[in-house]
Amino acid sequence: MAHLLCSPAAGVYDPGMDGERQPLSSQLTGPWRRLVPARLQRKLWVPAAVILTLAGGTLVAGWVQKSPCLHTTPTWAHGLPFRYACYSDVIPLYGAEGFEEEAFPYQHSWIEEKGKPTEYKHYMEYPVLTGMYMWAGAELTHGYLDVAKHFVYLPRSIPNNVYFNIMALGASVFWLLTVWFVIRITRRRVWDGVLLAVCPIVIVQAFTNFDLLAVALATGALLAWSRRRPALAGVLIGLGTAAKLYPVLFLIPILVLCLRTGKLKPGLRATFAAIVSWEVVNAPIVFLFPHGWLEFLRLNSTRGADPDSLYNVVAQFTGWGGFDGPLAPHQTPTELNAVIAVLLIACLAAVAWIALSAPRRPRLAQLLFLVVSAFLITNKVWSPQYSLWLVPLAVLAVPRWKPLLAWMLIDTWLWVARMYFYLPSNEGGWGQNPFLITVCVRDFAVACLCALVIYEIYHPARDLVRQSGDDDPAGGVLDGADDALVLRGLHWRRTAPALSTPA
């Protein structure tokens, strides 16, 4: 990882079409390159400094956006988190997960709905790496508060707020790393990183939950793969999957493209490394606290369609009772889960078909954006912070600032609509219709981006990345590789590099 962060050569020079190495500054493209005079674009650090500064400003705006919820009392009265749209899971989870009592996640449990027929024992519901990150932040909170008792000049607040600020600092580091990783991947189109730096979704979602840990690990895995380090990429994918589930989806496009190019060994190496790193992180918790470890799986299997899912939108607008009909509390929606699994498998199969049948091998980032988008659209849960998963992938897959900013603004507005959906109507709430309509618009916008990606896959001359002279900046061993197997209709066609005629 240190090599990826600090190597001065990677990304500063790229091979030209004639095989000679040319300064990156002579090849930079994209609408944002005008932010810095051409004479200053001689080293990668110049555009990187501008982009990271913009990203830092966006993170500051994100903290300010959440600041109305940082009260000196632990209660949020009169719908304050929803009226100011400043809600964050981080603040209430400090107490809800037992961190205030210095409880250890996965060991600590509590009874929900005590005394009711629906009473059940609850554990930490996050994947292991995220849960341990949350616990580490809580330990830092306790340590800071202990020190602050003896140093009157240190700022003090209630523990929830201190915890939020510590976790916000960690999330900021993860996002800046994500932006830096994307800068290193983009090569000639380094200024596309501005789309991440000024992304409005980051303002409202960076500090809503803990997803930026997984986003940084997933993007770091993509950088490692682009540097032809499949084992490190696999390790980071495994760690990302131990933080959130979605990075495991990266292995599907990697393996499919490796199959097309006949380079399966790097793909299998990454897959093996991902499995091992995931097991190393999870094994201690599985062994010591099996019931706590299973909570994540139990929760995700038994929860129904969330308000922001298309299944709920259809149910609310049509009166449809859902695939399973009325369910008791904590009863598993078996049919809904089966439908989601079938839809996701069908989408992944379609992406694989596209990858193997396109006239030119698709770029890895294009397929990654498609599979993660398919996962979110078909899923029964699209928590608002999940949109952060798509941001770096979208910038790498389709760096067109107008459609990307349109989607980002729609997704940002969805946060406002969601907050005023939860705000009671007698306090100014909007009700559910504006929220549900915005969910549909958001999903349609993501679907349109997917359609644009597919169009550019089948019309590679329209792909801005390839117009700039690169083949697949994130492709690693796939970059510039020949096809070995291509799907034509229903038949495989084996290809081979042309042999030179002997003299």
The answer, yes or no, to whether residue 253 has pLDDT greater than 50, is yes
Cα dihedral 482→258→234→279 (10° resolution): -170
What would the pLDDT profile of 130-139 be if each residue is shown by its tens digit?
A: 999 999 999 9
What would the pLDDT profile of 275-329 be if each residue is shown by its tens digit?
A: 999 999 999 999 999 999 999 999 899 988 999 999 999 999 998 888 888 887 7
More confident residue, 492 or 407: 407
Distance CA 212, CA 173 (A): 9
Measured over the CA atoms of residue 71, residue 73, residue 75 and residue 79, the dihedral's sign is negative
pLDDT for position 33? 56
pLDDT for position 70? 87
Pairing of strands 491-494, 13-15: unpaired
What would the pLDDT profile of 474-484 be if each residue is shown by its tens digit?
A: 999 999 999 88
pLDDT band at 117; cut points 50, 70, 90: low
Q: The tokens of 284 are what? A: 């201690």
Share of the chain above pLDDT 70, in %: 86
**Any idea how long the chain is?**
503
304 within domain boundaries: yes
Q: Give the relative orientation of helices 401-422 and 433-458 as an angle to the nearest 10 degrees.
A: 160
Q: How far is CA 286 from the centre of its chain?
A: 25
CA angle, corner 143, sides to 142 and 149, nearest 5? 90
**Rg (Cα) of the chain, in Å, rounded?**
24
The answer, yes or no, to whether residue 22 has pLDDT greater than 80, is no
17 within domain boundaries: no
pLDDT for position 41? 53
Distance CA 240, CA 247 (A): 6
Measured over the CA atoms of residue 86, residue 90, residue 94 and residue 98, the dihedral's sign is positive
499 within domain boundaries: no
Domain carrying residue 476: 26-487
The answer, yes or no, to whether residue 37 has pLDDT greater than 70, is no
The answer, yes or no, to whether residue 450 has pLDDT greater than 60, is yes
Q: Dump the DSSP string for 339-405.
A: HHHHHHHHHHHHHHHHHHHSSSPPPHHHHHHHHHHHHHHHSS---GGGHHHHHHHHHHH---HHHHH
Place of tokens 């005629």: 501
What would the pLDDT profile of 169-211 be if each residue is shown by its tens digit?
A: 999 999 999 999 999 999 888 889 999 999 999 999 999 999 9
Q: What is the mean pLDDT of residues 450-463?
A: 96
> Which 3 state secondary structure label does DSSP give 8?
coil
What would the pLDDT profile of 85-115 be if each residue is shown by its tens digit?
A: 999 999 999 988 888 888 899 998 888 766 6
Q: Kindly report which listed range (258-272, 354-368, 422-436) carries the lowest average pLDDT score.
A: 422-436
What would the pLDDT profile of 138-171 be if each residue is shown by its tens digit?
A: 999 999 999 988 887 888 888 999 999 999 999 9
Pairing of strands 485-488, 491-494: antiparallel
pLDDT for position 42? 55
Q: The tokens of 147 are what? A: 């020190």
168 within domain boundaries: yes
Helix, strand, coil proportions of the chain in percent (round to 5)? Answer: 65, 5, 30
Contact 122, 112 (CB under 8 A): yes
As for how many domains the chain has, the answer is 1
389 within domain boundaries: yes
Distance CA 474, CA 227 (A): 8
The answer, yes or no, to whether residue 436 has pLDDT greater than 50, is yes
1 within domain boundaries: no
What would the pLDDT profile of 346-369 be if each residue is shown by its tens digit?
A: 999 999 999 999 999 999 999 999
The answer, yes or no, to whether residue 382 has pLDDT greater than 60, is yes
What would the pLDDT profile of 47-91 be if each residue is shown by its tens digit?
A: 889 999 999 999 999 999 999 998 765 556 668 889 999 999 999
pLDDT for position 120? 77
478 within domain boundaries: yes
182 within domain boundaries: yes
